[in-house]
Amino acid sequence: MATHVLKACASTVQSGIIDPGAKTVHTVASGDTVILDTWAMWDNAGGPSLDLERAMALREKFRTEGRGPHSLTGPIAIETARPGDVLKVEIQSLEVADHGINLIFPGGRSRGLLNDIFQDAELRHFELDRRTMTTRFGKDIRIPLRPFLGIMGVLPPPDEEPRSSAIPGNFGGNIDCADLVAGSVLYLPVFVEGAGFYAGDAHAAQGSGEVVQTALETAMTAAQLRLTVVKGEPIVRPWAETREYFITMGLDEDLREAARLAVLDMIELMVKTKDMTRSDAYALCSLQADLLVTQLVNGVNGIHARMPKAIFEGGA
């Protein structure tokens, strides 16, 4: 198995668009490891020198052009990936930059949960201490850093139109699941030859829901990911596992429908991997699965269901 280094640059970054027809920028074999970095928001403009006026101008420019603020490294082709396969993404390590931002967008132009109350735009800068893996919020609050990639995905089906990187789908994309830290595994359905994997939207920390519409937005200086093609086990939507949980993900404009999809996928996962009946799996979801709001600020909302591994005797 080989290790590849893919640096973010003008020729390897997709700027705010997820395009099923995007040309791959690198090719790897199944089981290879990729070490990539990612840019900050708005083509790497979201750094320490960004001020509020510039941030609002960049946001308006990208929105007018139909683009999200995310800079996506990729897409990467995996040689043997074909439609109907699954791409297994093992998140081996994640290293963030030393700076991050959080933005509250002005009420009329925000999808934040309380945009009717918080009308004024605000920009906060954070120094990220990579030695202690913490940052300060004001004088008396210290936040632990828990880095993850807000966007990991594959290219959508070829009959779909290009879309803003802000909008997730069954292909993954902007799922913003804060559980996808180092040591986790994400499974993605493959829709095109080569899969076309990409990543971006680095977060140093985020609460489930991402209620103001941004997390602690940063860049990833090194994301080490192993990409493996799984044959003969097709899936409809992404799912994941951490050391502690099985996680299924529902995505829909309606939050209740997103929850239904997450639970339905958990039922199917339990039937497939734990030899349970569907009704037993449904009951177990009610007894042990937690439904969390992944995010509700991207137009398409996310719910993820977490089933603890520790309840299964004889190992997960």
Which two structure tokens, joined as six digits, stand for 302?
Answer: 């996310």
Name the 3-class secondary structure at 84: coil
Place of tokens 């030695």: 131
For the chain, domains (ranges, CATH) are 3-230 (2.60.120.580), 244-311 (3.10.28.20)
Low-confidence ranges of the chain (pLDDT < 50): none
Q: Taking CA 69 as the corner, what is the angle to CA 129 and CA 18, rounded to the nearest 5 degrees? A: 120
The rounded distance, in Å, linking the Cα atoms of 10 and 175 is 24
Q: Which two tokens stand for residue 17?
A: 């668009």
Look at residue 315 in the predicted model and tell me its pLDDT: 65
Give the model confidence (pLDDT) of 179-212 as tens digits.
999 999 999 999 999 999 999 999 999 999 999 9
d(CA 142, CA 125): 14
Take residue 273 and report the two structure tokens written for it: 């991997």
Q: What is the DSSP letter of 232?
A: S
Residue with tokens 């990612």: 38
Buried b vs exposed e over 44-82: b needs ≥16 C-beta within 10 Å? ebbbeebeeeebbebbeebeeeebbbbbbbbbbbbeebe
d(CA 218, CA 115): 23
**Identity of the residue numbered 205:** A
Q: Is 39 exposed, middle or buried (0-12, 13-18, 19+ CB in 10 A)?
A: buried
H-type helices in the chain, by residue range? 41-44, 52-64, 255-274, 278-288
CA-to-CA distance for 316 and 309, rounded, in angstroms?
A: 5
The secondary structure of 128-181, three-state, reads: CECCCCEEEECCCEEEECCCEEEEEECCCCCCCCCEECCCCECCEEECCCCCCC
Q: How many helices (H) and strands (E) does the chain have?
A: 4, 21
Give the contacts of 109 (CB within 8 A, at least 6 positions apart).
59, 63
Please tell me the distance from the alpha carbon of residue 151 to that of residue 201, in angstroms, as a whole number: 5
Q: What is the pLDDT of residues 251-305, one digit of tens each?
A: 999 999 999 999 999 999 999 999 999 999 999 999 999 999 999 888 899 999 9
E strands, 40-115, are: 71-78, 86-96, 99-104
CA 215 from chain centre, in angstroms, equals 12
Q: Which two tokens stand for residue 265?
A: 């996928």
